[in-house]
Chains A and B, each alone.
Chain A
């Protein structure tokens, strides 16, 4: 089930195991049969830690989604709420508890498990409603960093960026620091910490303080990570705005990947069986899990989409040939051997079928005129063309009332690539947007301005060309099939964040001091002392392991770029990636938009 977690350089199964252990311990505290009432948001992340079978082993007999009203009947001794500490959820729980039939025998016991933290505020809220006393166990489950893949961890904290930059609420950074402490407890103290950005500085400070405050925290585990690199998302606002062009990136851009699952339109996946006549086409979306446990997916996920077709066709030939073997199987022994291979071949075939269908779906979109036009404009901006005037394509899109998020992505991209827009240009865009989509969006525009994504050019100087040239963010000769540089993930644009990681290893940040100063927030280096016995003596040729933590979110294309660097023969560094949330431009902008529909209560 979790084999893919141990495939990387760092065995992340241990982290998952720790999470499972904690869960079991909690469940055992509530003796007897139980039902879990889930905050629906949590089922995805929890699914990456545990399957239903684990819960069942610990007497979880029923599971429900949290909703107002009377709790469903279930003959269990315990009702456990698994919730995020949110006030609106506390209201629902209160409603559930108050409607519980007090006369029923035997009575059911209530418990709450807060994820990731107990909240004094929520408990106070419950108390005011007069139900706090109904809960026997109120505990927390610190699901800080969830293992997504062999080299990928996420906190799945949707609003981390918004909270940090719009609401000055740095709780998510506190959780990030705690997550890193847990990680160090399992994989040893990380001797070197680098960082860029205000949030990075905060997290490093918190880590150092936490370590100081818990003198017992000196552990005796041999360090697996050599370096931690903390990067603020606001150091590189550009990358998430551009359309990702890797296979996985495009799947996320178009369909959205949630907790490694993607939902796809079912038409292309209809089981084609003779005699069916295509009568009952499935109407529910097809849901697939995407991770490196699937051999084919691991091979193509990080490729530029233009290079995916050839891999799929090669695979098809290999599989066809393998099935042809059956004609050559003459003896009983040969047939037996063929049959024994069948399950593996069938798996490979179904995997190929799925990805061929997905590639077709994506191709329909990438070959559309609008996709091309949009990309053309993006690439113009990123290479520094016409970033200082009103763009015709954007104007056209507004006039045709394309989705607002698309417009905002482009306008923000232009702003970032021009170190802010000229006041006249900015005012023009704002007016067009407000007149076409509604004045209330002034709130969203304000949020974007506050986050630095959309702003007037204040200094009167455009720093982007200098940054672009120094960091080689735009590469003219990009090879999509056999890439030699990370810029292949955006067909020309090399993600700034990953360039920073790359340059840190070689030749070091000292060489780019000037540019680092142009980017927001401080850059720094810290060392954590190790006892002499634990200091690493590196074998010749052994790769270093760097943990890159993106505070405020990371895109799949950036992950692909880091994996590309890990695989470079002379790279010398392997990367493990952690983040507060896996994002793309759309989900990111959405998280910054003001929710305009009135609250449901």
Chain B
């Protein structure tokens, strides 16, 4: 499956492509060590004061930086806070009844603008608006600013003013025509702030069908409105919009996305069910269908297993209590779970691994990897064995692993399989070099010895003698092979 290490090595040496290797491995390391040594040896000369020198607190924040000071001033005030707070508490309750202070600083009726108030209102606000300072030094106040304030801004001027943070009344734009010109002008300015402001105005003053119809041909504005509705949580309008507007892929998905906000599993399942009908691309439809089926399955398994676990009848649940619920877990995790708790179940049950494999068309490789990991964790070596045993039609058995036996060995080793088990699979690794490496690494002496024997490598075999215990069966084996080789 994966290119054997040896091949890879050869590839790198023979090809022109360079890997990021440390050719001068030792040299490089010693260089670092050297500078470290030098640094350390210097410590006794220059002592303690280096903290002062760096002028940083331990967390590295330079003393006096903003984030440092927040911590400082906040902590100093926190200590004084408690005492004061309690004394104020008494008073505050009586004030709580006071009416909210009415603002004397009224802003234009920009969005909600009631027509009762004459345009004078917004005019005065525009004048009192102090926030319109322009910071870019080059950009002197444009002439327009010195002109008399008029309520006759063209759509273009209005957008410009809004871009500069001025308050403008949009109420003057009454006809649909005017409003659309205004919107197009805002979109042309690329300033999302203004585009959104105009959209809010349109949303308030246009019939929904008209607004949606016009947005259909104005994709940029449409995106801004969707984003705005998402952010303000106007879910109903958002879904209406998605439903009414022509369906593009991303819009469906943004409806599908809603399921993440649903905490209740049953409701979430229902919602996903509703999503299946949406016209997604064929490929996405199958993913979402799978998502729904999986959750449905998980709900059944969860209810069943929770019952089994609390009843305390099932040994596996007693021995290995579940750490978390299986709800909303990925498919592969679910498969692992079912290989762990429900391995032997017949294919007909929802929780059986084979059923999962079939329903979701899990590829062989993926299935074997997951089952192996689960059974190895339970130290069910017979199951592991069965996983790789195939019978041909004559009844002969043969070992086969779609993932390559070196991977099998790695997974078994990670699960602390005993040497006897490990050995069996190391022996099945086809590539000799890899087999030797694995066998040496995991101390499968027999495999090493047999491999050298097959290679007729006297030198290596002799050398390996010092790796096995004195007087052990392995040593004897080596000795007998060596003497046999001599006779040959």
Contacts and interface: CB of A to CB of B under 8 A. Distances in A.
Interface of A: 18, 22, 38, 43-44, 46-47, 50-53, 55, 61-65, 72-74, 85, 87, 101-104, 117-121, 123-125, 127, 130, 132-134, 136-142, 163, 167-171, 173-174, 178, 181-182, 184-186, 202, 206, 210, 213-217, 219, 245, 261, 263, 272-273, 282, 284-289, 306, 309-310, 312-313, 315-317, 319-320, 323, 326, 342-343, 345-347, 349-350, 352-353, 356-357, 359-360, 363, 366-367, 372, 375-376, 379-380, 383, 385, 392-393, 395-396, 399, 401, 427, 430, 432, 434-440, 442-443, 446, 450, 476, 478, 491-492, 594, 596-599
Contacts of A436: 330-332, 366
B68 interface: yes
Given A87-B231, A272-B40, A393-B2, A185 B74 contact: no
B3 interface: yes
B131 A137 contact: yes
Given A133-B105, A379-B17, A435-B366, A316 B228 contact: no
B386 interface: no
Nearest to B91: A103
The 7 closest A-B pairs by CB, nearest first: A133-B103, A287-B60, A185-B138, A103-B95, A171-B192, A216-B140, A316-B35
A21 to B, nearest CB: 10
B65 A52 contact: yes
26 contacts: A22-B135, A43-B66, A63-B66, A63-B73, A102-B101, A133-B101, A169-B223, A174-B190, A174-B191, A216-B141, A261-B60, A286-B59, A306-B28, A310-B31, A323-B42, A349-B42, A350-B54, A352-B35, A366-B22, A372-B21, A375-B19, A434-B287, A440-B260, A440-B291, A442-B291, A443-B257
A255 to B, nearest CB: 12
Contact of A124 (B8, B104, B192, B200): B200
Given A289-B62, A309-B29, A442-B287, 9 more contacts: A87-B231, A124-B110, A170-B190, A217-B138, A217-B140, A285-B60, A287-B61, A346-B50, A399-B369
Nearest to A117: B193
B75 to A, nearest CB: 11
A528 to B, nearest CB: 13
Contacts of B81: 72-73
B142 interface: yes
A184 B290 contact: no
Contact of A360 (B32, B197, B231): B32
A595 to B, nearest CB: 9
A24 to B, nearest CB: 13
Interface residues of B, number: 130
B261 interface: yes
B219 interface: yes
Nearest to B21: A372
Contact of B249 (A121, A379, A446): A446
Nearest to A594: B257
B70 interface: yes
Contacts of B67: 43-44, 47
A117 B66 contact: no
A141 B134 CA distance: 10
Contact of B66 (A46, A376, A491): A46
A168 B407 CA distance: 46
Contact of A52 (B66, B190, B330): B66
B35 A315 contact: yes
B267 to A, nearest CB: 13
Q: Which of B36, B100, B250 has the most CB of A within 10 A?
A: B36
B32 A309 contact: yes
Nearest to A378: B20
Q: Which one of A120, A171, A173, A345 has the highest number of Cβ atoms from chain B below 10 Å of its Cβ?
A: A120
Contact of A396 (B2, B42, B54, B107): B2
B192 A284 contact: no
B189 interface: yes
Nearest to B40: A272
A346 B84 contact: no
A272 B43 contact: yes
B139 A167 contact: no
Interface in B1-22: 1-3, 8, 12, 16-22
Interface string B43-77: 10110011001101011111011111110011001
B178 interface: no
Contacts of B256: 442-443
A178 B136 contact: yes
B53 A346 contact: yes
A306 B137 contact: no
B61 to A, nearest CB: 6
Contacts of A598: 260-261, 263
Given A64-B70, A427-B283, A182 B60 contact: no
A181 B35 contact: no
Nearest to B98: A102
Given A170-B190, A375-B20, A396-B2, A103 B69 contact: no
Contacts of A142: 135-136
B41 interface: yes
B307 interface: no
Given A46-B66, A52-B65, A214-B140, A61 B73 contact: yes
B253 A442 contact: yes
A434 to B, nearest CB: 6
Nearest to B224: A169
Interface string B170-201: 00000000000000000001111110110010
Given A181-B136, A446-B249, A171 B193 contact: yes
Nearest to B287: A442
Contact of A438 (B111, B197, B220, B330): B330
Contacts of A285: 59-60
B193 A85 contact: yes
B168 to A, nearest CB: 9
Nearest to A423: B283
B80 A65 contact: no
Contacts of A347: 53
Given A121-B200, A169-B192, A52 B64 contact: yes
Nearest to A305: B20
A312 B31 contact: yes
A296 to B, nearest CB: 11
A118 B131 contact: yes
B20 A213 contact: no
Nearest to B220: A168
Nearest to A597: B260
Contacts of B28: 306, 309-310, 363
A356 B36 contact: yes
Contact of B223 (A168, A178, A434): A168
Given A72-B74, A363-B32, A442-B287, A316 B38 contact: yes
Among B104, B283, B330, max chain A CB count under 10 A is at B330
Nearest to B44: A274
Contacts of A102: 95, 98, 101
Interface in B333-370: 360, 362, 365-366, 369
Contact of A245 (B20, B46, B92): B20
Contacts of A134: 101, 103
Contacts of B21: 372
Contacts of B460: none
Contacts of A492: 17-18
B34 interface: yes
B88 interface: yes
Nearest to B137: A185
Contact of A356 (B39, B160, B163): B39
A184 B193 contact: no
Contacts of A323: 42, 45-46
A178 to B, nearest CB: 7
A158 to B, nearest CB: 15
B335 to A, nearest CB: 9
Contacts of B62: 289
B192 A170 contact: yes
